[in-house]
Structure 1
């Protein structure tokens, strides 16, 4: 009887139907932690802490962990490829776990066109100049995956773009980005619970 229960439990864990891959984009070295470009990683950390999903697996050029958020089976992912090659991690993960990337992939990234504190949920679209999204689109062969973009503020004229996105938040922006990361985490859950349009209506353009 005990062996039968174990088999049922093992089958449930291995069943990846309707599983979501939630990927936050960033750069893996410690020096990049807390930078504007790494808000995707920070959002994954927030989800990991809130739902007790540890990213203990390191395969497919990524750190990831499997668990549940409410009724949803999820895989939280941080690509370890550096930003510009994020697709090298996400395509193999989606293929291996048989994830429909047009429906059950959610990608979280930074957005320099949005003020700090704002997020933008979209069901599809171009990379908008973001190299991580550009690589994911190239490797998946489509741009129809859900994404949550977190505002990190527009680049001041005196800054180089690379220096801006690899810089750290200062002053009031530290509080603003914490609120945005919390909002992005909630938007991810809303996408899974009630669909991307509901998340867009709740969170787009609202501080």
Structure 2
């Protein structure tokens, strides 16, 4: 039986339980995935601690992003097959060995990107895309300021913005983080 980490009530790390979790079989438009890596995000802590309500209530399998291998596909899924490497970012449910998920929520992982990289960058990459292309569509010649330049979103955003021809200013809290941000596209970094 596959296992998952669940929470049944708000609290500290002690409320995380390791339990049997039958993912079921994929229905129409769904895939069954075996996870090989999961991403960890602060929102997982927020769901556990009670800062954010658990989507769908308790019990909850936390985790919003992961990578893995397709085990089987449901009806009407013709672009994925067993053995395909995939990654996704959704609301919750990634802290499991296996899960069923809508096929339209996953992307294929290309060669050259590890499962760990894919699992850890999906939500952060979507956040960077939202900031650079939707909140304010940056273009060559723009100058932007980004706080927490050495964090996961910042490292992706810095490289992307630099590629777009943007002058990128960041903030960071240590000399090591400043150097990391500069190595990932930031032109100037302010040590706060």
Into which bin does the TM-score normalised by the smaller protein fall?
under 0.3
Say which structure, 1 or 2, has more relative contact order (CA 8 Å, 6+ apart). 1
Structure with a larger share of its residues in helix: 1
The TM-score, its normalising length taken from structure 2, stands at 0.25
